[in-house]
Amino acid sequence: MRSWLPSTKWRSLISSGTAYAQSLNWGSLTYAQTAIVRAALSERYAPNTTKRIIAALRGVLKECWRLGRMTHDEYARAADIAPVRGQAPPRGRALKGTELERLFKSCNVDHTVATIRDAAMLAVLYGTGLRRSELVRLDIGDFDSESGVLTIQGKGKQMRAAYIVEEARPVLDRWMRVRGRISGPMFFPITKSGHLLSKRLTCEGIAHVLAKRAGSARIEHFSSHDLRRSFVTHLLDAGADLAVVQKLAGHRQISTTAIYDKRGEAAKLKAARLVRIPIGS
Protein backbone atom coordinates (compact mmCIF):
# COMPACT_ATOMS: atom_id res chain seq x y z
CA MET A 1 0.00 0.00 0.00
CA ARG A 2 2.99 2.32 0.32
CA SER A 3 2.89 3.02 -3.41
CA TRP A 4 -0.14 5.23 -2.92
CA LEU A 5 0.80 6.77 0.47
CA PRO A 6 4.46 7.75 0.00
CA SER A 7 4.51 11.50 0.40
CA THR A 8 3.77 13.90 3.21
CA LYS A 9 0.79 15.14 1.23
CA TRP A 10 -0.73 11.66 1.00
CA ARG A 11 0.11 10.70 4.57
CA SER A 12 -1.50 13.89 5.81
CA LEU A 13 -4.82 12.72 4.35
CA ILE A 14 -5.37 10.11 7.05
CA SER A 15 -2.53 10.36 9.57
CA SER A 16 -1.52 14.03 9.68
CA GLY A 17 1.78 13.07 8.06
CA THR A 18 2.85 10.81 10.93
CA ALA A 19 2.74 7.34 9.34
CA TYR A 20 3.52 5.38 6.21
CA ALA A 21 1.40 2.40 5.13
CA GLN A 22 3.50 -0.02 7.19
CA SER A 23 3.13 1.91 10.45
CA LEU A 24 -0.41 3.22 10.01
CA ASN A 25 -3.10 2.00 12.42
CA TRP A 26 -5.48 0.78 9.72
CA GLY A 27 -8.04 -0.32 12.27
CA SER A 28 -8.59 3.27 13.33
CA LEU A 29 -9.70 4.51 9.90
CA THR A 30 -13.10 6.14 9.70
CA TYR A 31 -15.49 6.71 6.81
CA ALA A 32 -14.45 10.36 6.66
CA GLN A 33 -10.82 9.35 6.09
CA THR A 34 -11.52 6.63 3.49
CA ALA A 35 -13.80 9.07 1.63
CA ILE A 36 -10.92 11.57 1.50
CA VAL A 37 -8.62 8.84 0.18
CA ARG A 38 -11.15 7.95 -2.54
CA ALA A 39 -11.42 11.58 -3.64
CA ALA A 40 -7.64 12.00 -3.73
CA LEU A 41 -7.17 8.76 -5.70
CA SER A 42 -9.80 9.82 -8.23
CA GLU A 43 -7.93 13.07 -8.85
CA ARG A 44 -4.58 11.37 -9.31
CA TYR A 45 -5.25 8.04 -11.02
CA ALA A 46 -7.28 6.56 -13.86
CA PRO A 47 -10.61 4.94 -12.86
CA ASN A 48 -9.35 1.36 -13.20
CA THR A 49 -6.30 2.04 -11.03
CA THR A 50 -8.43 3.81 -8.43
CA LYS A 51 -10.83 0.84 -8.33
CA ARG A 52 -7.98 -1.60 -7.72
CA ILE A 53 -6.50 0.49 -4.90
CA ILE A 54 -9.89 0.93 -3.21
CA ALA A 55 -10.47 -2.82 -3.48
CA ALA A 56 -7.13 -3.34 -1.72
CA LEU A 57 -8.10 -0.81 0.95
CA ARG A 58 -11.38 -2.62 1.57
CA GLY A 59 -9.44 -5.87 1.88
CA VAL A 60 -7.13 -4.38 4.53
CA LEU A 61 -10.12 -3.04 6.47
CA LYS A 62 -11.76 -6.46 6.38
CA GLU A 63 -8.61 -8.07 7.78
CA CYS A 64 -8.60 -5.47 10.56
CA TRP A 65 -12.14 -6.52 11.46
CA ARG A 66 -11.23 -10.21 11.32
CA LEU A 67 -8.28 -9.59 13.63
CA GLY A 68 -10.44 -7.67 16.10
CA ARG A 69 -8.77 -4.33 15.38
CA MET A 70 -12.14 -2.71 14.69
CA THR A 71 -15.79 -3.54 15.31
CA HIS A 72 -18.07 -4.70 12.52
CA ASP A 73 -19.90 -1.37 12.51
CA GLU A 74 -16.61 0.53 12.28
CA TYR A 75 -15.50 -1.72 9.42
CA ALA A 76 -18.84 -1.38 7.58
CA ARG A 77 -18.75 2.42 7.77
CA ALA A 78 -15.08 2.77 6.77
CA ALA A 79 -15.46 0.31 3.86
CA ASP A 80 -18.65 1.97 2.58
CA ILE A 81 -16.72 3.87 -0.09
CA ALA A 82 -18.68 5.29 -3.00
CA PRO A 83 -18.17 3.44 -6.32
CA VAL A 84 -15.72 4.92 -8.81
CA ARG A 85 -17.34 5.71 -12.15
CA GLY A 86 -15.76 5.64 -15.55
CA GLN A 87 -13.28 3.38 -17.27
CA ALA A 88 -10.05 4.18 -19.06
CA PRO A 89 -9.61 2.96 -22.65
CA PRO A 90 -8.25 -0.61 -22.62
CA ARG A 91 -4.55 -1.00 -23.23
CA GLY A 92 -2.86 -3.09 -25.87
CA ARG A 93 -3.88 -4.01 -29.38
CA ALA A 94 -4.95 -6.89 -31.54
CA LEU A 95 -2.61 -7.85 -34.36
CA LYS A 96 -3.92 -7.64 -37.89
CA GLY A 97 -4.12 -10.72 -40.06
CA THR A 98 -1.34 -9.38 -42.28
CA GLU A 99 0.91 -8.91 -39.24
CA LEU A 100 0.37 -12.49 -38.15
CA GLU A 101 1.14 -13.71 -41.64
CA ARG A 102 4.40 -11.76 -41.67
CA LEU A 103 5.29 -13.09 -38.22
CA PHE A 104 4.95 -16.74 -39.21
CA LYS A 105 6.57 -16.10 -42.59
CA SER A 106 9.60 -14.63 -40.79
CA CYS A 107 9.97 -17.95 -38.96
CA ASN A 108 9.99 -19.85 -42.25
CA VAL A 109 12.90 -17.94 -43.78
CA ASP A 110 15.24 -20.54 -42.33
CA HIS A 111 14.79 -23.70 -40.32
CA THR A 112 17.08 -23.11 -37.40
CA VAL A 113 16.23 -24.52 -33.98
CA ALA A 114 15.30 -21.03 -32.79
CA THR A 115 12.88 -20.27 -35.64
CA ILE A 116 11.20 -23.68 -35.28
CA ARG A 117 10.70 -23.06 -31.56
CA ASP A 118 9.54 -19.47 -32.08
CA ALA A 119 6.96 -20.49 -34.67
CA ALA A 120 5.58 -23.09 -32.25
CA MET A 121 5.48 -20.54 -29.42
CA LEU A 122 3.62 -18.04 -31.60
CA ALA A 123 1.16 -20.73 -32.69
CA VAL A 124 0.41 -21.69 -29.08
CA LEU A 125 0.19 -18.12 -27.79
CA TYR A 126 -2.07 -16.88 -30.57
CA GLY A 127 -3.91 -20.11 -31.30
CA THR A 128 -4.92 -20.78 -27.68
CA GLY A 129 -4.77 -17.32 -26.08
CA LEU A 130 -2.39 -18.38 -23.32
CA ARG A 131 -1.04 -15.89 -20.83
CA ARG A 132 2.74 -15.57 -20.80
CA SER A 133 2.93 -17.13 -17.32
CA GLU A 134 0.81 -20.06 -18.52
CA LEU A 135 3.22 -20.69 -21.39
CA VAL A 136 6.13 -20.65 -18.93
CA ARG A 137 4.44 -23.30 -16.75
CA LEU A 138 3.50 -25.49 -19.71
CA ASP A 139 5.12 -28.94 -19.68
CA ILE A 140 5.32 -31.47 -22.47
CA GLY A 141 3.14 -33.77 -20.38
CA ASP A 142 0.36 -31.18 -20.59
CA PHE A 143 -0.04 -31.83 -24.32
CA ASP A 144 -2.05 -34.76 -25.64
CA SER A 145 -0.67 -35.16 -29.14
CA GLU A 146 -3.50 -37.47 -30.23
CA SER A 147 -6.36 -35.13 -29.32
CA GLY A 148 -4.42 -31.88 -29.67
CA VAL A 149 -5.56 -30.76 -26.20
CA LEU A 150 -3.39 -28.70 -23.88
CA THR A 151 -4.10 -28.77 -20.16
CA ILE A 152 -3.50 -25.27 -18.86
CA GLN A 153 -2.92 -24.21 -15.27
CA GLY A 154 -4.33 -20.70 -15.14
CA LYS A 155 -4.67 -18.06 -12.45
CA GLY A 156 -5.51 -19.35 -8.99
CA LYS A 157 -4.47 -22.86 -10.11
CA GLN A 158 -7.64 -23.09 -12.20
CA MET A 159 -7.31 -25.79 -14.85
CA ARG A 160 -8.77 -25.52 -18.35
CA ALA A 161 -8.40 -27.15 -21.73
CA ALA A 162 -6.95 -25.41 -24.78
CA TYR A 163 -7.10 -26.78 -28.29
CA ILE A 164 -4.32 -26.80 -30.86
CA VAL A 165 -6.02 -26.04 -34.16
CA GLU A 166 -5.26 -27.99 -37.32
CA GLU A 167 -3.03 -25.30 -38.85
CA ALA A 168 -0.83 -25.23 -35.74
CA ARG A 169 -0.25 -28.98 -35.49
CA PRO A 170 2.54 -29.22 -38.12
CA VAL A 171 4.35 -26.26 -36.50
CA LEU A 172 4.15 -27.79 -33.03
CA ASP A 173 5.02 -31.29 -34.30
CA ARG A 174 8.13 -29.88 -35.96
CA TRP A 175 9.23 -28.37 -32.66
CA MET A 176 8.52 -31.64 -30.83
CA ARG A 177 10.85 -33.49 -33.19
CA VAL A 178 13.60 -30.97 -32.48
CA ARG A 179 12.92 -30.81 -28.73
CA GLY A 180 12.51 -34.52 -28.16
CA ARG A 181 10.06 -36.28 -25.86
CA ILE A 182 11.98 -35.99 -22.61
CA SER A 183 9.93 -34.70 -19.70
CA GLY A 184 10.12 -31.06 -18.71
CA PRO A 185 9.03 -27.67 -20.03
CA MET A 186 7.35 -27.47 -23.42
CA PHE A 187 9.75 -24.72 -24.55
CA PHE A 188 13.45 -24.48 -23.78
CA PRO A 189 15.86 -21.55 -24.05
CA ILE A 190 18.26 -21.81 -27.00
CA THR A 191 21.87 -20.66 -27.07
CA LYS A 192 23.28 -18.50 -29.85
CA SER A 193 24.94 -21.61 -31.26
CA GLY A 194 21.55 -23.33 -31.49
CA HIS A 195 21.81 -25.69 -28.52
CA LEU A 196 18.82 -26.40 -26.28
CA LEU A 197 19.16 -25.65 -22.57
CA SER A 198 17.21 -28.09 -20.43
CA LYS A 199 15.52 -25.49 -18.26
CA ARG A 200 12.33 -23.47 -18.22
CA LEU A 201 11.95 -20.29 -20.24
CA THR A 202 11.24 -17.14 -18.22
CA CYS A 203 8.60 -14.47 -18.86
CA GLU A 204 11.44 -12.10 -19.75
CA GLY A 205 12.81 -14.66 -22.19
CA ILE A 206 9.46 -14.90 -23.96
CA ALA A 207 9.23 -11.10 -24.19
CA HIS A 208 12.71 -11.06 -25.76
CA VAL A 209 11.69 -13.68 -28.34
CA LEU A 210 8.57 -11.72 -29.32
CA ALA A 211 10.52 -8.46 -29.63
CA LYS A 212 13.04 -10.22 -31.88
CA ARG A 213 10.27 -11.70 -34.02
CA ALA A 214 8.53 -8.33 -34.38
CA GLY A 215 11.80 -6.89 -35.64
CA SER A 216 12.35 -9.74 -38.10
CA ALA A 217 8.81 -9.39 -39.46
CA ARG A 218 9.08 -5.58 -39.49
CA ILE A 219 5.85 -5.05 -37.62
CA GLU A 220 4.97 -2.87 -34.66
CA HIS A 221 6.10 -4.11 -31.26
CA PHE A 222 3.61 -6.44 -29.57
CA SER A 223 3.40 -8.36 -26.31
CA SER A 224 2.24 -11.86 -25.48
CA HIS A 225 -0.90 -10.29 -24.07
CA ASP A 226 -1.51 -8.61 -27.44
CA LEU A 227 -1.55 -12.10 -28.95
CA ARG A 228 -4.10 -13.04 -26.29
CA ARG A 229 -6.18 -9.98 -27.21
CA SER A 230 -5.89 -11.01 -30.86
CA PHE A 231 -7.13 -14.51 -29.99
CA VAL A 232 -10.25 -13.12 -28.27
CA THR A 233 -10.90 -10.44 -30.89
CA HIS A 234 -10.57 -12.72 -33.90
CA LEU A 235 -12.76 -15.41 -32.34
CA LEU A 236 -15.51 -12.88 -31.65
CA ASP A 237 -15.13 -11.40 -35.11
CA ALA A 238 -15.59 -14.89 -36.56
CA GLY A 239 -18.89 -15.20 -34.69
CA ALA A 240 -17.85 -17.25 -31.64
CA ASP A 241 -20.13 -16.95 -28.62
CA LEU A 242 -18.81 -14.56 -25.97
CA ALA A 243 -19.43 -17.06 -23.16
CA VAL A 244 -17.47 -19.76 -25.00
CA VAL A 245 -14.58 -17.37 -25.66
CA GLN A 246 -14.59 -16.50 -21.95
CA LYS A 247 -14.01 -20.16 -21.08
CA LEU A 248 -11.30 -20.59 -23.71
CA ALA A 249 -9.48 -17.50 -22.40
CA GLY A 250 -9.80 -18.60 -18.78
CA HIS A 251 -11.54 -15.43 -17.62
CA ARG A 252 -13.59 -15.63 -14.44
CA GLN A 253 -15.85 -12.77 -15.51
CA ILE A 254 -17.40 -12.37 -18.94
CA SER A 255 -16.92 -8.59 -18.57
CA THR A 256 -13.15 -9.18 -18.67
CA THR A 257 -13.47 -11.00 -21.99
CA ALA A 258 -15.46 -8.08 -23.37
CA ILE A 259 -12.61 -5.70 -22.47
CA TYR A 260 -10.28 -7.78 -24.68
CA ASP A 261 -12.53 -7.21 -27.70
CA LYS A 262 -10.60 -4.87 -30.02
CA ARG A 263 -12.99 -4.89 -32.96
CA GLY A 264 -14.07 -1.29 -32.35
CA GLU A 265 -16.70 0.64 -34.27
CA ALA A 266 -16.58 -1.61 -37.33
CA ALA A 267 -18.04 -4.48 -35.29
CA LYS A 268 -20.81 -2.23 -33.97
CA LEU A 269 -21.68 -1.12 -37.49
CA LYS A 270 -21.68 -4.73 -38.70
CA ALA A 271 -24.04 -5.70 -35.87
CA ALA A 272 -26.30 -2.69 -36.47
CA ARG A 273 -26.74 -3.73 -40.09
CA LEU A 274 -28.23 -7.02 -38.93
CA VAL A 275 -31.34 -5.17 -37.77
CA ARG A 276 -34.19 -5.37 -40.25
CA ILE A 277 -36.91 -2.72 -40.02
CA PRO A 278 -40.17 -3.76 -41.73
CA ILE A 279 -40.85 -0.43 -43.43
CA GLY A 280 -43.26 -0.70 -46.30
CA SER A 281 -42.78 1.13 -49.59
- Give me the active site residues, please: 131, 155, 225, 228, 251, 260
What residues are paired with 153 via a beta bridge? 159
Question: What is the DSSP secondary structure assignment for residue 120, as one 8-state letter?
Answer: H
**Closest among 240, 265, 266 to 254, alpha carbons compared:** 240
Element (H, E) at 12: helix 8-15
Task: Residue 247: count other Cβ atoms within 10 Å of its Cβ.
Answer: 13
Q: What is the CA radius of gyration of the chain?
A: 24
**Closest among 193, 29, 145 to 1, alpha carbons compared:** 29
Question: What is the DSSP secondary structure assignment for residue 139, as one 8-state letter?
Answer: B
